[in-house]
Amino acid sequence: MRSKWMWAVGLCLTWALGAQAQGWPERPVRVVVPFPASGATDLVARVIAKQVSQNLGQQFVVDNKPGAGGTIGALEAAKAAPDGYTLLLTTSSTHAISPHLMPRLAYDARKDFTPVAHLADAASILLVTPALPVKSVPELIAYAKAHPRELNYASSGNGTIVHLNTAAFAAQAGIEMTHVPYKGTAQSITDLAAGQVQVLFDSIPTGLPHVKSGRLRALAVTGDKRSALAPELPTLAESGLPGYSSVTWFGLYLPAGAPPALVERINQAFTKAVQAPEVAASLVKLGVEPAAASTPAQFGAMVAADSARWAAVIRQHKISLE
């Protein structure tokens, strides 16, 4: 008798959760972005949230909660109810990189969140100062090997994706360069153009105008395919570093404990929005490639692989935030 009662309770609960998912959203949804307004993640979030709002007839409100490399906003989202009314739209930083740089991180990137959807990817562009006598990646590698530790590379700070991209590049190329961290890549552009630093991995929309003006020289992009913004530039894999691919991914999470039916419902809503032609066009203008449709499980597996990769780079190069 007890087993039949338990079965009935379970059936009712399953039905209730399924009904909740079908009815979502019944009120405005908060989309937490753990980075500042007008930054890349904020712009991506607003483009996608606007389309989801139009498709579903409900407000999706972007709520910027910046600080500590995105970890403050991520923690706030982790503490929310897993009912679909607080979402986290974030990047590699909070879930694949910070866990290996911050041993006392207040959240567990794997246990405290439910992966929902892989939304987009942003590759970087490899820039050099025009004063450097190289015009291709093989020439840069050859020059660096002939002048060990003489080249300086800029980054937007210790442990940032810019730092990690360059460390991974140097390791695979078998070269040694000196790291010069800045408080953002914008501050390093002047020094790069003047030749005080020689190498920088920057975002494509930020770096490309300086290439077109002649201030900087571009050698390659970091993604696994060429960028629509600069199709003439080869990938690093095409340039003699097979297998090299690095992007900043943009993804959507719910707090841990979200019902599977709700996760699937939100995955479908955001995937549909990203695939809308007008959204894809807007993202490409931002230097961002819409992601192919994938399941929550596939997104989770991708993040786990990315996290393992950056963990290895951080350990190998003894990278810390100090």
Round the average pLDDT of the chain to a whole number and report it: 93
* Lowest-pLDDT range of 101-105, 230-234, 250-254, 307-311: 101-105
pLDDT of 14 > 70? The answer is no
Q: Which pLDDT band holds residue 21 (cuts at 50, 70, 90)? A: confident
DSSP per residue over 183-217, as a string? SSTHHHHHHHHHTSS-EEEEEHHHHHHHHHTTSSE
Q: Quote the percentage of the chain above a pLDDT of 90.
A: 90
Give the span between the Cα atoms of 114 and 92, in whole angstroms.
Answer: 15
Give the span between the Cα atoms of 132 and 169, in whole angstroms.
Answer: 18
**Whole-number pLDDT of residue 132:** 97
Structural domains of the chain, with CATH: 28-122+247-316 (3.40.190.150), 123-221 (3.40.190.10)
**Whole-number pLDDT of residue 103:** 87
**Whole-number pLDDT of residue 205:** 92
Give the span between the Cα atoms of 128 and 143, in whole angstroms.
Answer: 12
pLDDT of 7 > 70? The answer is no
pLDDT of 10 > 80? The answer is no
Give the span between the Cα atoms of 180 and 121, in whole angstroms.
Answer: 26
pLDDT tens-digit map of 153-163: 999 999 999 99
